Amino acid sequence: MVRYDYDLITIGGGSGGVRASRLAAAGGARVALIEERELGGTCVNAGCIPKKLFSYAAHFASDFTDATGYGWTVGARSFDWRRLIANKDREIARLNGVYTRILETAGAEVIAARGRLVDGHTVEAGGRRMSARHILVATGSRPVVPQVPGAELAITSDQAFHLDRFPQRVIMIGGGYIAVEFASIFNGLGSQVTLVHRSAQILRGFDDDLGSVLAEEMAAHGVTLRLSSQISRIERAENALAAHLDSGEVLAADTVMYATGRAPNTGDMGLEQGGIALADNGAITVDDFFATSEPSVYAIGDAIDRMMLTPVAIAEGTALIQALFNGGPRRMDYENVPTAIFSHPNVGTVGLTEAEARARHGSVKVFKTRFRPLKATLSGSPERMFMKLVVEPGTDRVLGAHMVGEGAGEIIQGVAIALKCGATKAQFDATIGIHPTSAEEFVTMREPA
């Protein structure tokens, strides 16, 4: 019997890699996790966590304004960008330490180096070679920037959390969730923001109504939208940047940020030499149980480009360890995975879009509402909420739930449980609403649109 140095070597210390390594080590396996940067991956260091903290910071501007309608007198106020950065950095450092402790407490060895695959059972890192019965690649993803002249003058989300100075004018390029989130953040903190997107609608891939409604709400908040437009080149212009649109218009900005998608972070790792099959975009090809073309090597998370969501990577890591060390294969269930977009206002969604439901089931019933929330009646805010249910007529099952409005992620999380349980529209209707809340609208929509 072959004797390996470890039972599991994980390359990548993001959410999925840490979860898998911790579970395996806690169960008695000999585990090494290799990570060249801070533990926690994109989510902790340059994604979910700092982004949500920035979103909280940006929301205070509207909170101060809303307070006036409720009898509060709010005095002079100012925003300190560097203080926000310092406080954010302190919290991220704390989380990095938490990840280190939970791995070491479970018994995993953490190796601070870049890992490269040598063969199906061997990894090289930090000048040493080590072997393992199983190897897991969980190296996440990275921002993608189009090849546009002057693109090197722009930033991505990786740099947005570390800017030395707060930009007064920002051009955001893209129309996905990262673009609308950062456009909302910079706008809320006081920047003049222009969002440039090549398509006629933002949030492509989500339910069409979500993109339409969010575009209207973001415009009402002061974000300028340049849809069906593209940047042809970026140049320096005195103390600013000049972004040239394909229409001939030139926009001046202090910061230009690309949020035009992410790609699996799988380059320069020896994967091809190790016999690992990759897709055209660099994603690692795996089967239903996360095995690659090399039977002893597995991959999860953004590196396989199925659903680039932190909770999905964690669930994939959990399923893999159950299969490898705890008694048998377990398929990952990707149906009805909820997600939220922390734009202003928030977006929450779970299940099928209306278009997907029609393509899969034919005719569907659609219930939707748009209304002014109670909070806005005294604050004077123009913000309006939107909710939508997509229902399959034959079974009455709710196929999709979608929302734009404050707390959308918090509300959709509960709705997602109902969809996972196969709830019907009749069961939604039979549920008593909590009044007065915005969430009660999900159980009071009676007439199809």
Task: List pLDDT tens digits, range 230-289.
Answer: 999 999 998 899 999 999 999 999 999 999 999 999 999 999 888 899 999 999 999 999
Sheet with 339-341, strands from edge to edge, namely 339-341, 347-351, 398-404, 385-391, 365-371
Averaged confidence pLDDT in the chain: 96
- Specify the length of the chain in residues: 449
Instruction: Count Cα atoms within 13 angstroms, Cβ side, for 7.
Output: 17
Look at residue 142 and give its three-state secondary structure. Answer: strand
The answer to whether residue 167 scores a pLDDT higher than 90 is yes
Q: Quick check: 329 pLDDT over 80? A: no
- Using alpha carbons, list the distances in angstroms from residue 144 to 156, 195, 258, 265: 8, 17, 8, 10
What is the rounded CA–CA span in Å between residue 13 and residue 95?
13
Contact 285, 319 (CB under 8 A): no
Q: Which residues lie below 8 Å from residue 296, measured CB to CB, with a gap of 6+?
A: 120, 121, 133, 134, 135
Cα–Cα distance, 400 to 349 (Å, whole number)? 8
Report pLDDT for 238.
85
pLDDT at 274: 84
For residue 390, pLDDT over 90 is answered with: yes
The residue type at 199:
S
Burial class (CB in 10 A: 0-12, 13-18, 19+), 173: buried
Tell which wins on pLDDT, 2 or 18. Answer: 18
Pairing state between β 347-351 and 224-227: unpaired
The residues annotated with a catalytic role in the active site are: 435
| CB-CB contact of 318 with 27 (8 Å) | no
Tell me what the mean pLDDT of segment 147-158 comes to: 97
Q: How far is CA 393 from CA 75, 314, 448, in A?
A: 54, 34, 11
Using alpha carbons only, how large is the chain's radius of gyration in Å?
A: 24
pLDDT-derived band at 328, boundaries 50, 70, 90: confident
- Does the pLDDT value for residue 330 go beyond 80? no
Q: Name the E strands within 167-285.
A: 169-173, 192-197, 224-227, 231-237, 240-245, 250-253, 255-258, 262-264
pLDDT of residue 35: 98
pLDDT in tens, 60-116: 999 999 999 999 999 899 999 999 999 999 999 999 999 999 999 999 999 999 999
Q: Strand pairing of 262-264 and 141-143?
A: antiparallel
Contact 406, 423 (CB under 8 A): no
CB atoms within 10 A of CB 192: 17
Domains of the chain: 6-143+263-325 (3.50.50.60), 151-260 (3.50.50.60), 339-443 (3.30.390.30)
Tokens of 375: 């909070």
- pTM listed for this prediction: 0.96
The answer to whether the beta carbons of residues 141 and 42 sit under 8 Å apart is yes
Neighbours of 228 (CB within 10 A): 12
Max Cα separation, the chain? Answer: 76
Contacts of residue 40, defined as CB under 8 A and 6 or more positions apart, other chains included, come to: 13, 14, 15, 18, 49, 92, 95, 96, 99
Q: What is the pLDDT of residue 138?
A: 98
**Within a 10 A sphere around the Cβ of 105, how many other Cβ atoms?**
11
Rounded CA separation 296/32 (Å): 16
Establish whether the linkage from the previous residue to 345 is cis, with ω within 30° of 0: yes
**Residue-level pLDDT at 273:** 85
Residue 200: pLDDT above 90? yes
176 in Cβ contact with 198 (< 8 Å)? no
pLDDT band at 423 (very low <50, low <70, confident <90, very high): very high
Q: Are 260 and 178 in contact (CB under 8 A)?
A: no
pLDDT band at 127 (very low <50, low <70, confident <90, very high): very high
How high is the pLDDT of residue 195?
98
Q: Six-digit token pair at 18?
A: 């840490």
Q: How confident is the model at residue 331 (pLDDT cuts 50, 70, 90)?
A: confident
Per-residue pLDDT tens over the stretch 21-30: 999 999 999 9
pLDDT of residue 46: 96
